[in-house]
Structure 1
Amino acid sequence: MILRRIVLLLLLLNLAAAAWWLWPWHAPTPIAVTQAGVPTLHLLHEALPRAATQVPAAAPGALAQCLSVGPFTTQAEMQQAFAALVAHVPRIQYRVAESAVSRGWWVYLTAPGREQALTMARALAAHGVRDYYVITAGEQQNSISLGLFQDPGNAQRREAQLRTLGFPAQLRQRVEQVPQYYIEFQLPAAAGFVWQAHVAHADILHAQARPCD
């Protein structure tokens, strides 16, 4: 009787072991436990998605920034800078503006006609004035030029010298309208763009923020 019970117990144990191995167990779902202020840990392949290797796009609604750079004194200088920047900025254009440039201070005499101008020239020579020139054509015809000076102080002394000798010398600043060239462009969305690295003689140019039209 005892032997029969032992054999029956061993049979039941074998059946229980077989059922354990054959039952379709599933691995438990891990539960993420987080604490306020502590970042969640990720596996390495989860922390480095493929999109992370791409250049991030500009944030939607970000305001564009534009600059106006110049003035360039010649069209050739402007074109050279334009060609150097065009591949690095989203938008670019140039504009031409007229600017008044001083060409110095002019001391002169006026005469109503050629004979009066020649008579005044002989009088200047008689007073020891040698630096003069009678203008025979153009808008200032029959005027006598007594010098063009970059320094207004020198021009004023020359005028005073002639007036002391009795000549009604006049003083006028000569102004000329000349074209000046500017480049206007939009800065790239990525930070750190230095436009000066692409433009020759950038240290003598002026950059000013402007609206992006």
Structure 2
Amino acid sequence: MRWLALLLLIVNLVLWFVPASLSPPASVTRSTGTLPRVSSLKPAEAVRAPRRTVTECLSVTMGYFDNRTEAVALAEELTPEPRIVALERSLTPLHWILIPPQPPEAARVQFRELYLAGVDAYIVSRGEYQNAISLGLFESLEAAQSVLAEKKRANLNVVLAKFPRNRLGYALVFQVESRSETEWVQAVEAETGREFTFVESKPCEGVASPEKNP
């Protein structure tokens, strides 16, 4: 019986250890703690919706010309031929020596006295200085101040005012793409041999501006 018990014990031990030794070893993953290099990664291709290119139309006005004939002659040399528009432009005001406004009869009496004395004058007929007496217009402030002092020495009640003035001129109008505005102006100046003193641009009439993406 003792040998039989020993034999059973040996058989149990063999059945226990042999299957464990025959099973495949589990794979072991070791972390090195190192990130992969960016150059070794394949970037994902981003899918983007195609964007439509929208070019804004600009109306570019270039001037000035003193008369329409000159503007037409220059426009006919250009392709495409531009439109011609009339523009009223403000010029530097003149310096105006005045005897201040007074009642109409008093202004006529004083004007008659100045006329008989040989003074070049006229009565202002309308506007802010109606019924004032004008004694001269000057571009130079120094010249105006000199004459003003002279009139005051002659015991005349005179003041110095600004005389606004405008002049009608003409300009060429082109319709161009916004991205080529500068190049267009330079090309026109180079082709015509003229440097324009007035250049203004604005969106073309009747053309909606493109919506701007956020």
Q: Is the 8 A contact 1:186 1:212 kept in 2?
A: no
Alignment of 1:184 with 2:176, yes or no, is no
1:147 Cα deviation after fit: 1.8
1:131 Cα deviation after fit: 3.4
1:172: which partner in 2?
Answer: 161
TM-score of the two chains, using structure 1 as the length reference: 0.50
Alignment of 1:113 with 2:109, yes or no, is no
The C-alpha deviation readout for 1:85-110, integer Å capped at 9, x for no partner, is 1xx23x73333332222462221214
Alignment of 1:133 with 2:121, yes or no, is yes
1:113 Cα deviation after fit: 3.0
Greater C-alpha Rg: 2
2:69: which partner in 1?
Answer: 76
Letter in 2 for 1:138: S
Q: Is the 8 A contact 2:62 2:173 kept in 1?
A: yes
1:161: which partner in 2?
Answer: 150
The C-alpha deviation readout for 1:115-173, integer Å capped at 9, x for no partner, is 55434653x689xx7433243x8337754332221112211222233234332102222
Q: Is the 8 A contact 1:162 1:169 kept in 2?
A: yes
Identity level (%) = 17
How many angstroms apart in 1 are the aligned matches of 2:170 and 2:145? 34
* Unaligned residue ranges in structure 1 (runs of 5+): 1-59
How many angstroms apart in 2 are the aligned matches of 1:142 and 1:211? 43
2:140: which partner in 1?
Answer: 151
Q: 1:62 to 1:81 in 2, by over 3 A?
A: farther
2:194: which partner in 1?
Answer: 202
Q: Is the 8 A contact 1:134 1:142 kept in 2?
A: no
Match of 1:104 among 90, 94, 102: 94
Q: Is the 8 A contact 1:118 1:134 kept in 2?
A: no
* Unaligned residue ranges in structure 2 (runs of 5+): 1-51, 205-214
SS in 2 for 1:84: coil
Count of aligned positions: 144
